[in-house]
Structure 1
Amino acid sequence: MHSDWRCDNCGGVPPFHVAEHINADIVDSMLHNRTTASEQTPFWCPWPLPTGWMVTGVGWAGDERTGARATAVACSGPEPLGGGPADVVLIAEQPGVGLGTRFAGIPGLDPGHLIAEALADGQGHPGPHAKIKAAGHPTPLWCVKSPEDRSAYVSEAKGMWLYAIAWPASAGYFLAEHVVLHDLSDGVPPELVYGAPSPYLQGKA
C-alpha cells in the first residue's frame, strides 16, 4: 500500500492541479494556498508581457504534505513569425518531478541528459539556443528534442529546472523577444492581462 499518488510507468508522482479559469483572484488564491514548504518554487511569468500576449492559466504539482514541487504558467499571444496564435507554458520544478518532461513530450523525469545531447549536437555552435532573464539574472536556454508540434527549451533558475514549451514549434521564437521572467510569488503585477484558458495546460489540446 502507498499513500503517494502513483503512475503505472513512473511510480510515485505528485498530483497536478490546474485552475479551470484564470483571473487575478485565482492567481492570488493559488499563491496564498500553497504550504510554507512550497514557497521557494517560483511561478515564472513573462513581465512585461510581449505585445498581444496574455496569461492563460496556472497550475502546480504537489499535495498537502509536500506543497508545490512544480509550477506552471501558461501564456498565449500572436505567433512571432505571423502564422496565427501561439501558446507557451513555463514550468519551474524541483528535481525528479517530471512535469516539464511531460509537457515537453520527452522521456524521463529530468532533462539533464537531453541538455548534454543538445551540447553535443551543437559542437559547431556551442552557445545556448536562447537567452532570457529570470529573477534578474541572465539565463541561457537549451533547445532539446521534442515532438514536431512543439519546441522545448530547458535551463535552471533559482536552483530548479526551468522549462519553456511552445506550440507550434515556431512559437519558440517568442524567446528571442528579450523575455524577462518575473516570479509571481514576489508580487502579481496589477496590469497583468488574462485570456481564455490555455487548452495545453488544461490537457485538451
Structure 2
Amino acid sequence: MAREPGDQAPVWTCEQHGDVVPVGPAQAPTQKLLRQVALDSLVPVWIPHPMPDDWQVTGLQWAGSGGSVAVVVAVSGPHPMPEVGDEEPTVDLIFVAEQPGIGLGAHLAGLDGVDPGPLLAEKAAHDPAEIKLHADDHEVPLWSIPLVDGLAYVGEASGVWLWVLAWPSSAALALLNRFSLVDARNEDAEPDLPCGALTPRLR
C-alpha cells in the first residue's frame, strides 16, 4: 500500500517497493485533458499520426507530481483484418512513455519488476529488433514481450522507455505499419483527436 508524503517521509512510499511515484486513475479522454496532460508532462505523450480511420483516443493516465514522469495514451478502433465470426473486432493499443524505474508499463503488461532494462538487454544481445516504429521522425527498434492475451513491444525513444501494448496480438503488426507516433507536446502535433469512452484495458 502506498502512503502519502508526511512527517516521516517527504515522498510517496510503499512497504514493498520503498519510494514510489504516485499514479492517478485512468481517465476518459477529452481534448482539454489531453492538452493539459501534454503541458504537464516531462516525457513524450505519444499519439498515432495519422490516426487510423474510425479510431479514437480511449484513455489517459499519468504518474508523478509536479510534472508527469510516465504517460499512458490508449487508442481503440476496428480490427484491420477481422476474422469470420470474430466476437471482439475492437483493437486496443496502449502507448506508454516513462522514465526508468517507474514501472507503469510493466504493470500494464502484467510483468513483475519496474524496469524492462535487463530483459531488453538480454533480448537485444541475441535478437535483432522485431519491429521498428517511427517516433518523432526517429526510427525506434522494439522487442516483443508476450502477454496472456495480447502483445507488448518495448524500446527506447526520446531518452525514455516506450511501451506499445496491443490486444489482440493479431492486429499489432498490421496496425503499427500504418502510422508513426508524434509527441502531443509539440505544437505541430495533431490538435483535434476524436475521443471516446475509457477502454476497459485501463479500468
Same fold (TM over 0.5): yes
Q: Deviations over 1:4-47 (max 9, x none)?
A: 22333322221112453312112122233x2xxx44x1100111
SS across alignment from 1:115: helix
SS across alignment from 1:16: coil
* Divergent runs of 4+, >4 A: none
2:128 matched residue in structure 1:
127
Is 1:99–2:104 an aligned residue pair? yes
TM-score, scaled relative to structure 1: 0.83
1:116 matched residue in structure 2:
121
Report if aligned partners of 1:132, 1:178 keep a CA contact under 8 Å in 2: no
Is 1:180–2:180 an aligned residue pair? yes
Shift of 1:89: 0.9
Q: CA separation of 1:2/1:109 partners in 2, compared to 1, >3 Å: closer, same or farther?
A: same
Identity, % of aligned positions: 39
Q: CA separation of 1:110/1:174 partners in 2, compared to 1, >3 Å: closer, same or farther?
A: farther
1:143 matched residue in structure 2:
144
Q: Where does the alignment leave 5 or more consecutive residues of structure 2 unmatched?
A: 1-7
Q: CA separation of 1:176/1:184 partners in 2, compared to 1, >3 Å: closer, same or farther?
A: closer
Is 1:28–2:35 an aligned residue pair? yes
Shift of 1:178: 3.3
Amino acid at match of 2:48: P
Report if aligned partners of 2:135, 2:182 keep a CA contact under 8 Å in 1: yes
Amino acid at match of 1:107: D
SS across alignment from 2:32: helix
Amino acid at match of 1:25: K
Is 1:171–2:174 an aligned residue pair? no
Q: Where does the alignment leave 5 or more consecutive residues of structure 1 unmatched?
A: none
Supply the RMSD in Å over aligned alpha carbons. Answer: 2.0
Shift of 1:116: 3.1
Shift of 1:189: 1.9
Counterpart-to-counterpart distance in 2, 1:97 and 1:174: 29
1:13 matched residue in structure 2:
20
Counterpart-to-counterpart distance in 2, 1:43 and 1:18: 17
